[in-house]
Structure 1
Amino acid sequence: MTSKVVLVRPKRFGDERGWFSEVYNESTFRDHGIVDRFVQDNHSLSVPAGTLRGLHFQTPPFAQAKLVRCIRGRIFDAAVDIRRGSPTYGKWVGAELSAENGHQLYIPVGFAHGFVTLEPSTEVTYKVSALYSPANDGGISWTDPQISVHWPLPGGQSPILSAKDDRQPLLRDFASPFEYDGTPLELIEV
């Protein structure tokens, strides 16, 4: 099982009709250390560009690994290491996911996740490894200066946030239930 953030670049096979892509294959993902059993698919629509969702996670025993992809529009997707004792605690990695590039981001347990939409009417789907549990729903402030994610907000605008995301705690006020497993934050591409 990998605890690395993985940028997955599925192959597309195209012709005059369009293209075909295999976006999930258990065997192929296992070959790259992704062995999570995904139990729920989520789908979001963000109408205005600049909609920011995150930074979210679920705590044990309902901690979630995620496999995120953008099926319409473009997003900047970020993962933040929140495993206590990690030498990369509070550090982040990010990637642009779009309907055009077809890339996906795998985010293991122990990382907070968030994204900002770069185009209007952007749709995102993601698989998760545990069912949603309101009692285990958590988050960190998207604007935490300790983390300092470089959100590429369209036109330098302020993000459009939910009330929940506007009041998330800072990392310094968060007692992480996630433990470091010996693998520092690293974005690998497959």
Structure 2
Amino acid sequence: MEKDLTTEGRILTAARSIFQQKGLAGARMQEIADEAGINKALLHYYFRSKDKLFERILEEAIGKFLPELFGVWEGEGNILEKIERFVHRYISFVAENPYVPSLILHELTINPEKAGMIRKMGFKPPKDKMMMEVMLGVQAGLIRPVHPMDLILNIISMCVFPVLARNMIQGVMLIDDLTYQEMIETRKKSVADFVIQSLRP
């Protein structure tokens, strides 16, 4: 029996939804099968276990997410230009793929040992390159001295929080989907501007 890519795609789409809602521990294979519109036996034919299915989802998510971000620091331009590109790419990606950061955050919060899986995939933050960019920026008079880890944590926090907290933000601020999307779009520039201004000497 050959595996049908359409069926596999439905399974992966269903699994992303269920894992995002409930994490690995709370998800059930029967729920995923029901969401995909197939029986449980067929689901097990494609993926032998829930862990294997989760690993596939996590690998795809991280495989899309991290190289897109890390690549910014290997490109051309000074640190201010790279910050601008990093913010734009980060917000664009998480807005289009909101399940990725929430899935990673949820699972690593309750299962921190899963971080080892990420390391095994070969995704290593370009810390040395980032430190060099900060040092060069300071030497060139573009930015004030700042710890690279503080810088990246500040950027990521401002980029990802509005996506992770979308329901809360829309509920508290009483804004509809269109207004929310417009806000996210404007943050591509406003967050970059805020970070860059905070780094001025």
TM category (shorter chain) comes to: under 0.3
**TM-score, normalised on structure 1?**
0.26
**TM-score, normalised on structure 2?**
0.25
Between Structure 1 and Structure 2, which shows a larger proportion of strand residues? 1
- The structure whose RCO (Cα within 8 Å, separation 6+) is larger is 1
Between Structure 1 and Structure 2, which shows a larger proportion of helix residues? 2
Structure with max Cα Rg: 2
